[in-house]
Amino acid sequence: MRTAALLFAAALVAVATSAAYVGHALGRAEGWTIDRRFAIRGARTPKDVAVVAVDAASLGELHERWPLPRRVHAEVLRRVANDGPRAVAVDIQFTERTDEADDNALISAVADADRGTSAHVVLGTTEVSTTGHTAVLGGDAVVRRSGAAVGFIGLPVDRGGVLRQLAWGSSTTTPDGGPAVPLESIALVAAGRATGRETTRSELASPTTIAYAGPAGTVPTYSYADVLGGRVAESALAGKVVVIGATAPALQDVHRTPVGPMSGPEIQANAVETALHGFPLKPSRSRALLLIVLLSFLVPVASLLLRWRWCLLMAAVTAVLYLVAAQISFDHGVLLAVTWPLLALALGTLVAAFLRPRTYR
């Protein structure tokens, strides 16, 4: 009878902890473990992306205030495209009309880059209608004629304001609260344009962890003014997905990430790199639930066979080995849940402490 009660209690632990996992309770604690795993792993220089940054030095050299004239963006885009990147993601929103000549210069540059070179241009926006349309460059028809694409530049914000995840796209709703047509993430569109393989919504049905290469400055970054002035070697951007965007602190496009403060364009570059390499830190719900069940029953079952001091030793060793395994797997691109399996182990141990057979007390 006591054995049945012990196994039943372990099953309740597995169910409760699984429910906590599915409901993402303790999500902030799990995010903290991911941050620590990035810190332990260290930085890795990505080879497939680069950033062209509108930094403070560029604004000073150009003697221009933000937003920069679109004719300047047009010239930079032409220079980047001529260097042979696989795709160019522009993390700057062009939804309002400005000077007509400047607007037309940018539209021409986008069209020339997409048709006249190997570069595929993806323009970014955060403004999406409930039907999935945007006003980029004056509307979807203009974008289609130019041969470009549009992607959503917003990212999910975890508790604490940290950008850890990449979602498939926007999540707007209709006025009556129903689902609207989403716009695919700019990172996914750019990666798809570069490889010729699109990411379907079912493939990324839930957000995945961005596999950050390292802290700010890890992604190869080149000054916008240097590109405009022809001071960046062609080989620096050739064959890469290039993200163009503002990094100057005064422009306030800096966000919290698991690896420290980082500009929006560099975050997008990390997201592109994540997509190019098949979402290496994509969580597996089935794997997490299996681990929760196994660790829920580990000590209760062991307590039926072993003396209690050996059960406690087993629980401690299992916890340490699991943390080591989680870090090693993370270093090799596999994300194991940590908070919920270890919670299951702890609760299972408590259950065993109260309900284990008297013979082994």
d(CA 259, CA 261): 7
Tens-binned pLDDT, residue by residue, of the chain (361 aa): 778 989 999 999 999 999 999 999 999 999 999 999 999 999 999 999 999 999 999 999 998 889 999 999 999 999 999 999 999 999 999 999 999 999 999 999 999 987 766 679 999 999 999 888 999 999 999 999 999 999 999 999 998 899 999 999 987 655 555 566 899 999 999 999 999 999 999 999 899 999 999 999 999 999 999 999 999 998 999 999 999 999 999 999 999 999 999 999 999 999 999 999 999 999 999 999 999 999 999 999 999 999 999 999 999 999 999 999 999 999 999 999 999 999 999 999 999 998 876 554 4
Q: How far is CA 204 from CA 63, 200, 282, in A?
A: 43, 7, 9
pLDDT value for 118? 62
d(CA 186, CA 126): 10
Is there a contact between 170 and 182 (Cβ–Cβ < 8 Å)?
A: yes
Query: What tokens does 220 get?
Result: 């190869």
Look at the chain and count its residues: 361
Place of tokens 């209760």: 300
Show Cβ contacts of residue 197 under 8 Å, excluding neighbours closer than 6 positions: none
Of the candidates 178, 183, 177, which has an alpha carbon nearest to the alpha carbon of residue 135?
Answer: 183
pLDDT value for 116? 60
Q: How far is CA 65 from CA 37, 79, 229, 342, in A?
A: 40, 21, 18, 52
User: Is the Cα dihedral 175, 199, 92, 268 positive or negative?
Assistant: positive
Identify any residues that bridge with 254 across adjacent strands, giving them in sequence order: 263
User: 11-46 burial, b for 16+ CB within 10 Å, e for fewer?
Assistant: eebbeebbebbeeeeeeeebbbbbbebbeebeeeeb
Q: Does 220 sit behind a cis peptide bond, omega within 30 degrees of 0 on the bond before it? A: no
In three-state secondary structure terms, 124 is: strand
Query: What tokens does 343 get?
Result: 């919670």
Phi-psi region of 260 (alpha: psi -120 to 50; beta: other; left: phi over 0): left
Domain ranges of the chain: 2-41+282-360, 49-276
Q: What pLDDT digit, counting tens, does each position of 306-345 carry?
A: 999 999 999 999 999 999 999 999 999 999 999 999 999 9
Residue 242 is given by DSSP the state: E
Q: What pLDDT digit, counting tens, does each position of 174-188 carry?
A: 555 556 689 999 999
pLDDT value for 181? 82
pLDDT value for 360? 47
Is there a contact between 48 and 270 (Cβ–Cβ < 8 Å)?
A: no
Of the candidates 175, 267, 255, 271, which has an alpha carbon nearest to the alpha carbon of residue 217?
Answer: 267
pLDDT value for 327? 98
pLDDT value for 57? 94
pLDDT value for 177? 52
